[in-house]
Each structure stands twice: as C-alpha cells, then as structure tokens.
Amino acid sequence: MFSLNNLTIHVGSVDISKMVTAMSLYESIHGDIKGTLYITDSINFFDTFINKSMPSVEIVYDYLGTKTIIPLIGNGITDQVIDKNGKKYNLNLISISAFNKSIVKINSVFSGTSNDILIGLWKETQGNLIGLNMNTPAVSKGKYIVPNIPSGIAISNVVQSAYDENKTGMFLYQRLSEQGSTRFVSLHDMAKSKYYEEDGKTCFKLHNRYIDKSVITDPGGTVGSCDNFRLLSYNDNYTQKIAGGLWGKKVNQFELDQSKKTTLESIERTEIDSPSYKISQMLYDNGVSLFTPESKIDSDAIQNTKYRVFNTTLIAEGTVPVPRLSCGMVVDVEQGGSNLSRTKSDGEYIIASINHRYTMNDGEMNYTQDIGLTREW
C-alpha cells in the first residue's frame, strides 16, 4: 500500500489536511468530478470559516512522483455530529465547471458542428478559465436555438446528439489528473486510448493481488493489483433491451483489442413500437436542427452503440493506485491466472469510472482505487 506525500487541502485560504480523516473523489466518463471530505473539526472551523456561500477547495498531493492538483468547490455540509470534543461532518464537493453549468442560463442561437456549438456554449458558461479539450471532431451539425435554460442542460443536449465519422456517440467528462479541464471524445477514440506499460507497447494489466517474493524485492510491482474483481453485470436485462429495440436494430460493434468496426445485421425481432417525433422545422428557417439526424437508422445505431458498450461491467476493488490512470482509457484485465480462474470476461476494457478513496492511518493518507470497467461482450 502506498501513501500520499505533501498533501494539502485548502478550503478557502486554510489548509485543513490535518482535520480530514478520509476523502472520496469520483471521476466518470458520464460527467464531472465530485467528492466528499470527511472532517473531524476540533477548532470550530465550521462556524468560523464556512458561511452561506460555499468555499473553493483545492487538493494537492504527490503520489509515486506524480503531482496532482484538484480544484473543486464546496457543495454543502451533511451528517454533522456534535459532541463535547467538537464536530464531525462531511463537506461535499463538485467541480467548478459543474457549478457554473448549474447557475448560468443560455438564451442564444448557435450553428455549426457539435464541436462548434459546444465551444460556444462552453465560453458563455465557463469563460476562458476552464479548459475544454476537443479530442474528437464531430460530424453532426446544425442549428441550436437555446431557449433560456441552464447551460448544463443545453450542453448535455449537444453531447447526447453528437457523433463522429464512425457513427459512435460522444462523451464529455473530467479526469482527476487534468486539473479541472474537460474533454469531448467519441466512444471510437476512447476504445483506442490504451494505457501502456513503461515499454510504451504493452497494454497495462489490472490483476489480482498475489503476495510472493517478487513483491518484497519490487513493491512497485503491486501497482495495478486489486483485492478482487466483481462482475456487476453480463448481458443484464436482456429481455428489456430487446423490448426497447436496443438489440433489434442494426448496430456498430467495436472490438477493443483490434479497434475495428463490424456492422451487424439485426437478429432479434420485436413488435413493440418505439415512436419518435421530429422537431418542428418552422423554427429553423432554411437551416437544419442540430437534433435532426441524417437518418433514423444512423440515430438508432449511435444510441445502441452507446448502450451496448455497457453490456459487461466489472469493478476492480481496492486497486493499488496507478499514477495518471484515468477514465476513458483502456486497460487489460486478468482476474485469475490459473486454468480454473481464467474467464471469458478477461480482456481489454474501457475504464468507465474510478472512485479514488483516501483514508488517514497513523498520520498517513493511504490511497486506493475502485475502478469501474465496461465493454460490449
């Protein structure tokens, strides 16, 4: 187990790292970073420094030679317990970009590709202070009339309708290691983003933790090992997926190990109707709505691919943290290793989420990761 070095946790201008007994920070390909600080307050910090406007929070630490800076903002106090020695409570955290998306409203018109429209919405919401990395060019394009709604809803609408040249959907999310910036990337490009070993050629492997002589001579070899793997779902709710049409239409299948696309014809049939309605063209003069797909088949295929990639989900619990490993990357998984424990659910997965867990123990902040993994089969 490895610990953090040079940990500071500034709430406003005050370093409260000595008061934090544990913390949890969560990143996911479905959105922004969020977290919780578990605080033991024996100096009345709650009444002295925290008021109705929630403070800024900055967490900084070194882990195995990698420095991480995480800018966040307080989002409320929960579960406070008071006794004669002080107070215990949780300080909930959200990203600064999530805060801005909640309070800023947009009432404007945007045109162009999904990338162009997203950049326009981002500048109105975040200014130039929070970075937006456009990793994948979207080919979806049109006009978006935003009718005075929270910018977070407007941005989500653009992301949900966007797709790349490979007809795969897009994701907008933050990584803990990227100091608050946000990235816009397609499922196709995520499936190619392998996290490599030091040789730069071999896909990094998550594996079960084994204690042997090699661990004593090379403790760094435990990085990426975990207490256990749990298969959360494999083809779960299959019947409901057929009924909803997810399995009954032409889809694009992506093989993570080869990064190639295979077009599959429909093999399941369902008579259950799933109606949809087009947006009125009267709002757009001679233009086209951003939410009008080139074809209904393409629209269905894009959404189906997004759903199907979550058909198999694993979680690697209690993983010895891997520096710079982030959601949206691809890793190899070996759950067992023997003839009996090898399984068809081994192989390459996209990292869908990481719950970074930190616990104070004898004055040191121990660090582990619970890694959520996903793939189609």
Task: Report the share of the chain in percent with pLDDT over 90.
Answer: 56
Q: With a cut of 70, say whether residue 244 has pLDDT above it.
A: no
Q: With a cut of 70, say whether residue 245 has pLDDT above it.
A: no
Element (H, E) at 307: helix 296-308
| Mean pLDDT, range 80-95, rounded to an integer | 93
| CB proximity list for 372: less than 8 A, separation 6 or greater | 28, 313, 314, 315, 351, 352, 353, 354, 355
The pTM assigned to this predicted structure is 0.82
Asked whether 62 and 71 are in contact (CB, 8 A), the reply is no
Q: With a cut of 70, say whether residue 255 has pLDDT above it.
A: no
Architecture of domain 5-94 in CATH?
Beta Barrel (2.40)
Sign for the CA dihedral angle at 237, 242, 246, 252 comes to positive
Question: Does the domain at residues 99-186 carry the CATH identifier 3.55.50?
Answer: yes
Q: Among 324, 329, 377, which Cα is nearest to 353's?
A: 329
Round the average pLDDT of the chain to a whole number and report it: 82
pLDDT confidence bin for 208, thresholds 50/70/90: confident
Sign for the CA dihedral angle at 338, 343, 349, 352 comes to negative
pLDDT confidence of residue 198:
86
> Of 20-34, 300-314, 354-368, which gets the smallest average pLDDT?
300-314
pLDDT confidence of residue 286:
58
Q: With a cut of 50, say whether residue 151 has pLDDT above it.
A: yes
| Mean pLDDT, range 270-277, rounded to an integer | 46
Q: With a cut of 80, say whether residue 68 has pLDDT above it.
A: yes
pLDDT confidence of residue 235:
59
- The ranges assigned to domains in the chain are 5-94, 99-186, 191-234+311-375
Task: Please write the tens of the pLDDT for every residue from 298-335.
Answer: 565 666 666 566 677 889 999 999 999 999 999 999 88
Q: CA 155, CA 145: separation in Å to the nearest integer?
A: 12
pLDDT confidence of residue 274:
44
| Mean pLDDT, range 233-247, rounded to an integer | 55
Q: With a cut of 60, say whether residue 338 has pLDDT above it.
A: no
